[in-house]
């Protein structure tokens, strides 16, 4: 086991900050508890499990981290970015009354930067054009089948590291059918896995260049690229254009409008340039949106009989 203490520039709520990394309550790669957060990840040096706790003993807020596995040192080096220490949250001074209220309600919310592109891209691809329930179930099944046991005490607790890209790249497309993933998304997963090394380099690029690199991959569009950017790059301005719910949520929160398209959403977010993604995150956390008037989107037909 290795450990690290990170002094912070301000308070951090680890549960809020890192909940964006969890894909459903049964996600075996992350555990978010009342006192700590456990995360299993894959680094260039190998597998790692990190345990994080936010502590304030009077000298200021800190995060205490412990790590296990061959990638422990690399995982600890990534902790400051992971807990949002590089997030420019102090520059965010919204004048909109709703957004200001949400910011004050969540003073410890930071935007994490994992630096792990493929780990963010895999669940984003699985979430394309299906319900959240279907996507989370598929991700959970794929990690359980092709991931590895997390190092340290997290392993016996049932945690697993996301699958290695080379493992998924070598699969035939139909291997993912049992998890409710049709050929289009399965092929996108396999293409992304085969090019994972080049995609990881996007962390070193400017946001626009990183988005272009991601979208150069067939099957990855603006929505998927933004979902990756907001967690792998910690981009506070990333907006998931093309989302089924987000335009309506943003329009309801900022203008009291029940329905909106992407253009209207971007118009309303324009005054928050540089922090548009942060506004979206605050709106999502508050579960703001117009009252539902119809049934939820049903599962896609190819996922209904999936067995896990």
The pTM score is 0.92
pLDDT tens readout for residues 246-303: 999 999 999 999 999 999 999 999 999 999 999 999 999 999 888 766 555 566 655 5
Say which residues have a Cβ less than 8 Å from residue 91's Cβ, sequence separation at least 6: 274, 275
**What are the chain's domains?**
2-88 (3.30.530), 117-224 (1.10.340.30)
Say which residues have a Cβ less than 8 Å from residue 284's Cβ, sequence separation at least 6: 246, 249
Q: Nearest 5°: phi and psi at 69?
A: 105, 170
Question: Can you tell me the distance from the alpha carbon of 66 to that of 78, in angstroms, rounded to the nearest whole number?
Answer: 12
pLDDT < 50 stretches in the chain: 304-308
3-class state of residue 33 by DSSP? coil
pLDDT tens readout for residues 86-110: 999 999 999 999 999 999 999 999 9
């Amino acid at each position: 086991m290795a450990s690290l203490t990170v002094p912070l520039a301000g308070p951090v709520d680890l549960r809020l900050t890192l909940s964006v990394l969890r894909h459903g309550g049964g996600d075996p790669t992350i555990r978010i508890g009342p006192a700590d957060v456990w995360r299993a990840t894959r680094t260039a040096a190998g597998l790692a499990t990190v345990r994080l706790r936010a502590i304030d003993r009077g000298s200021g807020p800190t995060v205490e981290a412990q790590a296990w596995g061959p990638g422990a040192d690399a995982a600890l080096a990534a902790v400051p970015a992971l807990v949002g220490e590089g997030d420019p949250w102090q520059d965010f001074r919204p004048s909109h009354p709703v957004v200001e209220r949400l910011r004050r309600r969540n003073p410890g919310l930071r935007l994490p930067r994992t630096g792990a592109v493929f780990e963010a891209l895999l669940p984003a691809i699985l979430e394309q054009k299906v319900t959240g329930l279907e996507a989370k179930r598929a991700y959970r099944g794929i990690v359980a089948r092709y991931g590895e046991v997390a190092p340290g005490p997290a392993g016996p607790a049932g945690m697993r590291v996301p699958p290695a890209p080379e493992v998924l790249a070598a699969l035939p497309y139909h291997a993912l059918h049992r998890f409710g993933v049709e050929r289009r998304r399965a092929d996108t997963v396999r293409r992304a896995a085969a090019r994972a090394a080049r995609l990881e380099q996007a962390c070193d690029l400017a946001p626009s260049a990183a988005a272009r690199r991601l979208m150069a991959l067939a099957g990855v569009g603006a929505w998927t690229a933004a979902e990756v950017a907001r967690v792998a790059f910690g981009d506070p301005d990333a907006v998931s254009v093309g989302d089924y719910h987000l335009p309506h949520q943003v329009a309801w929160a900022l203008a009291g409008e029940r329905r909106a398209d992407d253009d209207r959403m971007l118009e309303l977010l324009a005054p928050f340039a540089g922090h548009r993604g942060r506004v979206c995150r605050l709106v999502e956390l508050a579960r703001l949106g117009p009252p539902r008037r119809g049934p939820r989107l049903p599962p896609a037909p190819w996922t209904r009989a999936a067995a896990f």
